Amino acid sequence: IERLTSTKGAMMMKRTVIRGTGRYVPPRLVTNDDLSQWMDTSDEWIRQRTGIEQRYWVPEEGGVGSSDLGLEASKIALQRAGWAPEDLDLIIFATLSPDLFFPGCGCIMQHKLGLAATPALDIRQQCTGFLYGLTTADAYIRSGLANRILLVGAEVHSTGLDISTAGRDVAVIFGDGAGAVCLESLESNEPIGVLGSALHADGKFANSLMVEVGSSRLNPRISHELIDEGRHYPVMDGKAIFKLAVQKLPEVVIEVLKKAGLDLEAVDLLIPHQANLRINQFFAHSMKLPEEKVFNNIQRYGNTTAASIPIAFDEALEMNRIGDGSTVVFLGLGAGLTWGAVVARLGP
Ligand code: ACO
């Protein structure tokens, strides 16, 4: 009770504030023209349909997993927060492309950070992994279960893509990368840190975007036949996902702002998941938002899934598009189907 009470006796609320951010992409730059050498596509098609101009992929020879990219982003975020790995109470790692089928990337990266007992939790919510992770971190902090949390979103897509013409609708979209944020508990009655969250899922669309092999429902989980059929590559009903995104993203932003008691005018920047530039342009148009209020960087990174929002957030901070006192809304939709939004006010 003493910890929850200020000197004046008023109850202080635990809030989740953002202390440091970081991002990392591997050095191998892959342009649209590079992709046209491997499949029947063109720079013009990719730019027109997705907005993407380039993406970064891990080295072709392999050996670099999502935990490696997450580690680099985490080191930057920790350094900016002024924290040592030992300061962490919890690691939350969001990815759809884990180093191993199990155990999760959180455990693997925890060891790479030099830790031996800090709990680590993996989140498997694809493009909304960062939003589910941030909401989970907020719940841990508000309940007093943790005071300092490292939240990471990282993906290595490139080693799992069909880069022949058969896989071109999916392969041109995805990039590798990682973003990380340090989250801390702060006792304050001011509206600061995470102010609201709205998360959703609808499993009836699970097959609209998925990778099947080697799932537990297959016996054997992997075989030459399955590979010959290409069932180890992601399949996506791009049109269905596109339509759901332009419908659900405005709805969930209105929902989260209502929960937080805020108007859209109070928001300085909306940071959407970077799935397709056209989805984000549709979103801005339907919300009657000026272009500069919606942050986009898919042109340079492609769709980095769980990493896309923290990468965009880190870049927006670096570009001074936002800073202390700014109100931001993170939003996204992706495989699951999952979608959501989180509103936060940045502050010292
Ligand atoms: N290069 C050239 N042509 C292509 C390519 C390519 N890379 N890919 C597809 N085409 C062809 C198709 O074969 C088709 O040809 P056809 O007319 O002769 O049949 C034509 O281009 C049009 O294809 P569509 O699939 O209709 O193209 P569309 O405009 O729908 O764009 C895209 C496809 C970019 C995938 C779009 O649907 C999209 O972005 N959807 C949303 C994706 C998304 O948000 N995913 C969720 C996030 S990711 C996650 O959760 C993991």
Per-residue pLDDT of 98-123, as tens digits, reads 999 999 999 999 999 999 999 999 99
Residue 215 has pLDDT above 50, yes or no: yes
Task: Give the span between the Cα atoms of 213 and 205, in whole angstroms.
Answer: 18
Does the annotation mark 303 as catalytic? yes
Is the sign of the CA dihedral 128, 322, 136, 246 positive or negative?
A: negative
37-to-41, 158, 160, 169, 348 alpha-carbon distances in Å = 8, 16, 18, 15, 48
Residue 198 has pLDDT above 60, yes or no: yes
Tell which atom from ligand 1 comes closest to the C-alpha of 239.
37
Per-residue pLDDT tens over the stretch 19-58? 999 999 999 999 999 999 999 999 999 999 999 999 999 9
pTM: 0.95
pLDDT at 36: 97
Residue 202 has pLDDT above 70, yes or no: yes
The model's confidence at residue 1, banded by pLDDT at 50, 70 and 90, is very low
The model's confidence at residue 348, banded by pLDDT at 50, 70 and 90, is confident
- Mean pLDDT within 330-335: 97
CA angle 34, 55, 20 (to 5 degrees): 160
Question: Closest residue (by CA) to atom 15 of ligand 1?
Answer: 169
CB 291 within 8 A of CB 283: no
Cβ neighbours around 279 below 10 Å, total: 24
Per-residue pLDDT tens over the stretch 258-295? 999 999 999 999 999 999 999 999 999 999 999 899 99
Considering 105, 107, 127, 182, which one is annotated as catalytic?
Answer: 127
Task: Give the span between the Cα atoms of 141 and 262, in whole angstroms.
Answer: 22
Per-residue pLDDT tens over the stretch 135-156? 999 999 999 999 999 999 999 9
Express as a percent the part of the chain with pLDDT over 90: 95
Tell which atom from ligand 1 comes closest to the C-alpha of 335.
50
CA angle 281, 197, 82 (to 5 degrees): 95
**What residues are in contact with ligand 1 under a 6 Å CB criterion?**
41, 45, 49-50, 126-127, 168-169, 172, 209, 236, 238-239, 241-242, 245, 275-276, 279, 303, 305, 334-335
